[in-house]
Structure 1
Amino acid sequence: MRKWVLEPGITGLDALVLKESPVPEPGPGQVRVAVKAASLNYRDQILLHGRWGITIEEEVVPLGDASGVIDAVGPGVEEWRVGDRVLGIYHGGWIDGPPPAEVGFGLGSPGQDGVLAEYIVLNADRVTRMPSTLDFVEASTLPCAALTAWSALTGDKPVRAGQRVLTLGTGGVSLFALQLALAMGAEVTALTGQDVKASRLLDLGATDVINYRTTPNWGEVVHSATGGMDKVVNTDGGNALTQSLAAVSAGGEIAFVGLFSEGDAPPPLLVLMTKAASIRGVAVGSATAFTQLIDFVDQHGIKPVVRSTFAFEDAKAAYTAQAGADVFGKIVVEVAPQS
């Protein structure tokens, strides 16, 4: 079979190498999945370029999101059958509730082979059923970005109909948060740094769109116009925390998801206190939450926004496209033809 790997000691696209290897066999309690499609996340750029001091010390298959078909089951597996259409689960060992002490970076990170291969072997509890309303390309976008958005919108303060949600940017998590929040009955204000994307956000259902580059005090503007957001999905990071606190309503919540900026200036704690608001970190989500998300996607007919697809041989081009400033929607590698 063919697989892409990240070679140790190299960063950038040169680290990504296409190799041949034997088709793996599932052991006890495992299943083998013939991968149909795999999607990229911003995390995969971090790993490719060795950012944040993360280094690849041993060869690893990249990417953490995939859809496929079970084509072999190991001894003792009773819950799955050959032919079942499944998704990989991003984090292993996280069934429900808070994350384990060391949740890690998920499939396709140091020490944990990912899914950019024609076949993968996973523990039987590391896969879940695919939504019946999505094809393989669409479904492959769910395990990280969609589940992160779902976890941000639910948790201790789940979004309810009639509430207001603020999303930052047009990355995968933000677009899923917009779609999911609308299906929950919320009104969504979206931020973007490019006016050209505003109409697309409005087409998806956003009530209002603000350019955060031309309106740097966007949080104050949002709060003045609406009285505050019940939920702010902060996918940017520390640099956006001050304005997120300005935007959030009294008693509201900031779901802190961002990886794009690591600004560590202290947030205005007086604002946090006087609003009795909360900041909650979100680390993708549990297997139980993923099942709930899949049911919700089927129930509401949510269709992921897919920007473009690439052939398996063109994985490097997929990485390049995903890193582009104009990207709007998920980038997917079609590992095998859909059927």
Structure 2
Amino acid sequence: MKQWILKAAASSVDGLVETTARMPEPASGEVRVRIVAVSLNYREHLILSGADGPWRPKGDLVPVADGAGIVDAVGEGVTEWKAGDRVATVYLRNFRTWPPHPGIGLGLGAADEQGVLAEYVILPADRVTSAPDGLSLAEASTLPCAAVTAWTALQHSNPVRPGQKVLTLGSGGVSLFAISLARALGAEVFATTDQVDKQQRLEDLGVSQTFDYRKDPNWGATIFEATGGTDKIVDTAGFGSINQSIQALAFGGDIGMVGLMSFGEAIDPALFYAKGVSLRGIPVGSAEQQREVFRFIDEKGIKPVIHRTFDFLEARAAYEAQLAPDTFGKIVINVSDE
């Protein structure tokens, strides 16, 4: 079978190499999945560039966490799956229900876990869930990290209710899913972006108003004034703008902190305490939360935004496309026919 590996110590797309490996066989409690498609997340670039960091093992790594495919074979003792089942990967290890624990790891395709950029993969039977019936497997491949993260941020604590206001930061995969999910939950959605061409795209998805955070360094106060404060923020930017997010919140509002884009700003304690807000770290979500959001996506007919699809042999080009400034939506790599 064919697979892509990220060579040890490599820190650019030149270190991604297509190789041939023996067909793997499932052991007890495992399933073999014929991968139909995978999708990329920003963390793929953290792994790529961080050759000496905690994301990378000492040796070669099959990259990418998110994939969908068809169960091809099952190991001894596996009763919940059979050949032909349509499944999507679960991002984190042994994370069946909330709360998280020290053993969940850093996700497939990182540290001590091989990823899914391959024609066939072996996974524990609890490392997949049924793919949504209403989506193709290419569409389903976009869900395990981005959609589950957005759902956990919106619904795990202080769940969004109809009529509430939600703010998403930027237009990455998590933010786009948060927009679709929040609107389906009955919320009014606002968003930040610094790109004029993306303002209309966000509004086409149902965003009521966009705010340019680059032109307006005090965008948090501007959003509070325009909206009366948002009840929930899905913060994909990181702590570099945390005080602006707090400014944008309604009193008693909630921030789901997702972002790894920026660090370094200390929380203003007077602002934080005065508004009575809550701040939660979002480590993607559990397998249970994945099943929840998949059911919701099917029920509401939600479709992921896919920017571009690449062939399996174009993995390097897919990585490069993900960082292009005009990317709006997920980057998908087709591996085999559905």
Q: TM-score, normalised by structure 2?
A: 0.98
- Cα shift at 1:311: 0.3
- Cα shift at 1:52: 8.3
SS of the equivalent of 1:201 reads helix
SS of the equivalent of 1:34 reads strand
Conserved? CA contact 1:96–1:286, under 8 Å: yes
The aligned residue for residue 238 of structure 1 is: 239
- Aligned equivalents of 2:206, 2:37: Cα separation in 1: 27
Q: How does 1:110-189 map to 2 (within 5 A)?
A: 110-189=111-190
Amino acid at match of 1:241: I
Conserved? CA contact 1:234–1:240, under 8 Å: no
Conserved? CA contact 2:10–2:51, under 8 Å: no
Amino acid at match of 1:87: A
| Number of residues of Structure 1 aligned to a counterpart in Structure 2 | 337
SS of the equivalent of 1:142 reads coil
The aligned residue for residue 268 of structure 2 is: 268
The aligned residue for residue 283 of structure 2 is: 283
Conserved? CA contact 2:94–2:103, under 8 Å: no
The aligned residue for residue 73 of structure 1 is: 74
Runs ≥4 in structure 1, deviation > 4 angstroms?
Answer: none
The aligned residue for residue 101 of structure 2 is: 100
- Aligned equivalents of 1:85, 1:268: Cα separation in 2: 47
- Cα shift at 1:10: 1.6
Amino acid at match of 1:39: S
SS of the equivalent of 2:266 reads coil
Conserved? CA contact 2:254–2:278, under 8 Å: yes
Conserved? CA contact 2:93–2:105, under 8 Å: no
In percent, how many aligned pairs have the same letter?
48
SS of the equivalent of 1:143 reads coil
CA displacement, residues 78-116 of structure 1 (integer Å, 9 cap, x when unaligned): 111100000011111011111112432100002100000
Q: TM-score, normalised by structure 1?
A: 0.98
The aligned residue for residue 7 of structure 1 is: 7
Q: Which runs of 5+ in 1 are unaligned?
A: none
SS of the equivalent of 2:314 reads helix
The aligned residue for residue 205 of structure 2 is: 204
Q: How does 1:26-105 map to 2 (within 5 A)?
A: 26-50=26-50, 53-54=53-54, 55-105=56-106
Farther-moved stretch of structure 1 (98-107 vs 310-319): 98-107
Conserved? CA contact 1:321–1:331, under 8 Å: yes
Farther-moved stretch of structure 1 (282-291 vs 266-275): 266-275
Asked whether 1:329 is paired with 2:311, we answer no
Change in Cα spacing, 1:303 to 1:270, as seen in structure 2 (3 Å) is same
- Cα shift at 1:304: 0.1
CA displacement, residues 202-252 of structure 1 (integer Å, 9 cap, x when unaligned): 000001111111122111001011111100111000111010010011111
Q: Which runs of 5+ in 2 are unaligned?
A: none
SS of the equivalent of 2:104 reads coil
Amino acid at match of 2:88: L
Amino acid at match of 1:326: D
RMSD: 1.0
Conserved? CA contact 1:58–1:111, under 8 Å: no
- Aligned equivalents of 2:326, 2:73: Cα separation in 1: 40
